[in-house]
């Protein structure tokens, strides 16, 4: 029983079937993406090549190859292959196939039971698979777009390995489209359309990691081109939306992130929102945007508002939890907060100055009084001698310098008078003044 039509390796060219269905990979060599799972030598790939499979759950967003991977596994192994859909299949049909699989197992033949959208089966329906998986009567491959922790019963989940599939990269999607354009048997080479690489890249961005979306868009574009040259205007018409001028590897990518960064630094929340929206609409990687917001929080706000860094990091975590499109709001909220926060690059400049001294200044040793002295020999060598434990002194301020003698009076961090850093500035001034007085008091004794 196969609700998806013919098995891998038995596909017949059929121009009436959608392009994504026609272009399904027929083996591991044709499978694109998911290199973290299928790279040569990886555990899953070794299982497939050795025909020694365990039950598994394939978890990932739509269009990333869950069904295709199940069919590739079927084509690469000697197992029977039965496919169900959690939407279409009745529990009676499922039980009938499971009983048949048990009989096949006793006869020495193994059966892969593929369940697409396994999260659509309720607890009772999922329970039906459990004894057959436990006895090894079937190899269960479930596919789901939902978190298996919540949608697959614990007993079944404990007996299956969960593999997480990732959205396809733009490069992967471009490669898939290029293959379809050149394939005269299953693809659209017969349409004679000339689709420039830049448009393949634009479709890849538009598809958002979904191979099905990319191939359907390519098919529509090739047919609209009617054997001629495909253009940006034609693609925009096919997609029914204006294509953002964007290239993740080109100038537009860097121009937009630069515009967002400089808008935040300039305390302009409206401009920050606009440039952020440009990147979101263009399909930019949200985690990349989040990483840059984290950088802005430290580089341009720093200790003027320490909560900015906390908020930026929390936005990245929250986006990973929720995803698109709701998670885009977290990025917008953070961009606005960073834009209106007090600004300081004092720590950023201080670190750069310290690094410059390390790279180009004299090579210095750690002063003896700052070194640990765990052995008698090290104590005899003077390690730790003269160290002053701050908590033993009034105000936890000591006269002791912690910089090497060559840099004794060097100052790196000079806080601004903006936001919380103004309090830090006053506190640091008091510390430096107290230390200076203590050092002054000691000078006559040292002379």
User: Is 301 a domain residue?
Assistant: yes
Residue 260 resides in a domain: yes
Judge if 141 and 36 occupy the same domain.
Answer: yes
* pLDDT of res. 254: 82
CATH of the domain at 282: 1.20.272.10
Residue where one domain finishes, among candidates 164, 191, 226: 164
Structural domain includes residue 9: no
Helices 197-207, 211-225: inter-axial angle, 10-degree rounding? 140
| Nearest C-alpha neighbor of 77 from the set 2, 141, 172 | 141
CA-to-CA distance for 220 and 215, rounded, in angstroms? Answer: 9
Maximum separation of any 2 CA atoms in the chain, in Å: 98
End-to-end CA distance of the chain: 97
Q: What is the DSSP string of 356-374?
A: HHHHHS---PPPGGGS---
Count: domains in the chain: 4
Q: Is 382 left (phi over 0), alpha (psi -120 to 50) or beta?
A: left
In angstroms, the CA 275 to CA 340 distance is 16
Say if residue 408 is in the same domain as residue 439. Answer: yes
Residues 281, 185 share a domain: no
Helix (H) or strand (E) holding 427: helix 420-446
Instruction: Identify whether the C-beta of residue 112 lies closer than 8 Å to the C-beta of residue 104.
Output: no
CA torsion through residues 10, 180, 45, 101, sign: negative
CA 220 to chain centre: 30
Helix-strand-coil split of the chain, %, nearest 5: 55, 5, 35
**What is the C-alpha to C-alpha distance for residues 218 and 18, in angstroms, rounded to an integer?**
11
Site of tokens 């690059």: 345
Q: What's the CATH code of the domain at 218?
A: 1.10.8.60
From the first residue on, what is the mean pLDDT of each consecutive set of 10 residues in the chain (447 residues)? 42 71 91 92 91 90 91 85 72 77 80 87 84 86 88 89 91 94 91 91 87 92 89 86 55 83 93 91 87 96 94 94 90 95 93 89 85 88 88 87 85 90 90 87 64
CATH number of the domain residue 87 falls in: 3.40.50.300
Task: Examine residue 322 and state whether it is found in any structural domain, yes or no.
Answer: yes
Phi and psi of 324, rounded to 5°? -85, 155
Domain of 268? 251-340
What's residue 359's pLDDT? 87
Scored b (16 or more CB within 10 A) or e, 320-356 reads: eeeeeeebbebbbebbbbbbebbbbbbbeebeeeeee
| 174 shares its domain with 159 | no
| Assigned domain for 7 exists | no
Residue 245, in any domain of the structure: no
What's the chain's Rg over C-alpha atoms?
31
Mark whether 384 and 287 lie in a shared domain: no
Is 5 part of a structural domain of the chain? no
Domain match, 278 and 180 both: no
- With 0-12 / 13-18 / 19 or more C-beta atoms within 10 angstroms meaning exposed / middle / buried, residue 272 is buried
Do both 31 and 69 map to the same domain?
A: yes
Considering the domain architecture, whether residues 39 and 128 belong to the same structural domain is answered as yes
* Residue 401 shares a structural domain with residue 336: no
Q: Which two tokens stand for residue 234?
A: 């034609």
351 is a domain residue: no
Same domain, 261 and 230: no
Residue 149 shares a structural domain with residue 89: yes
Q: What pLDDT was estimated at residue 247?
A: 54
Same domain assignment for residues 286 and 400: no
């Amino acid at each position: 029983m196969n609700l998806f039509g013919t098995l891998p390796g038995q596909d017949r060219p059929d121009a009436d079937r959608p392009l994504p269905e026609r272009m399904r990979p027929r083996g591991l060599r044709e499978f694109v993406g998911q290199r973290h799972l299928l790279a040569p030598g990886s555990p899953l790939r070794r299982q497939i090549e050795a025909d020694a499979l365990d039950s598994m759950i394939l978890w990932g967003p739509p269009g990333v190859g869950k069904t295709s991977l199940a069919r590739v596994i079927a084509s690469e192994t000697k197992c029977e292959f039965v496919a169900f859909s959690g939407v279409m299949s009745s529990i009676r049909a499922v039980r009938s196939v499971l009983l048949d699989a048990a009989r096949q197992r006793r006869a020495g033949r193994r059966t892969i039971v593929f369940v697409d959208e396994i999260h659509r089966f309720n607890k009772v329906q999922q329970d039906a698979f459990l004894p057959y998986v436990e006895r090894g009567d079937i190899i269960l491959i479930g596919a789901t777009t939902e978190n298996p922790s919540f949608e697959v019963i614990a007993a079944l989940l404990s007996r299956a390995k969960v593999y997480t599939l990732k959205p396809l990269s733009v490069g992967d999607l471009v490669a898939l489209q290029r293959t379809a354009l050149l394939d005269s048997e299953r693809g659209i080479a017969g349409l004679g359309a000339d689709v420039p690489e830049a448009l393949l890249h634009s479709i890849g961005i538009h598809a958002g990691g979904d191979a099905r979306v990319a191939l359907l868009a390519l098919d529509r574009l090739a047919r609209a081109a009617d054997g001629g040259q495909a253009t940006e205007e034609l693609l925009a018409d096919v997609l029914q939306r204006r294509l953002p001028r964007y290239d993740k590897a080109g100038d537009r990518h860097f121009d937009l992130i630069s515009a967002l960064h400089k808008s935040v630094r300039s305390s302009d929340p409206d401009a920050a929102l606009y440039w952020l929206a440009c990147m979101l609409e263009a399909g930019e990687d949200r985690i990349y945007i989040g990483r840059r917001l984290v950088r802005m929080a430290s580089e341009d706000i720093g200790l003027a508002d320490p909560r900015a860094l906390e908020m930026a990091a929390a936005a990245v975590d929250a986006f990973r939890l929720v995803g698109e499109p709701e998670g885009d709001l977290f990025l917008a909220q953070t961009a606005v907060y960073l834009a209106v926060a007090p600004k300081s690059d004092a720590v950023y400049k201080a670190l750069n100055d310290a690094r410059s001294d390390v790279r180009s200044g004299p090579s210095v040793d750690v002063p003896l009084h700052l070194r640990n002295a765990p052995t008698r020999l090290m104590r005899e060598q003077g390690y730790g001698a003269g160290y002053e434990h701050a908590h033993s002194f009034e105000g936890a301020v000591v006269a002791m310098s912690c910089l090497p003698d060559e840099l004794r009076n060097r100052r790196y961090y000079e806080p601004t008078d903006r936001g919380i850093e103004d309090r830090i500035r006053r506190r640091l001034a008091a510390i430096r003044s107290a230390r200076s007085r203590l050092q002054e008091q000691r000078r006559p004794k040292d002379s």
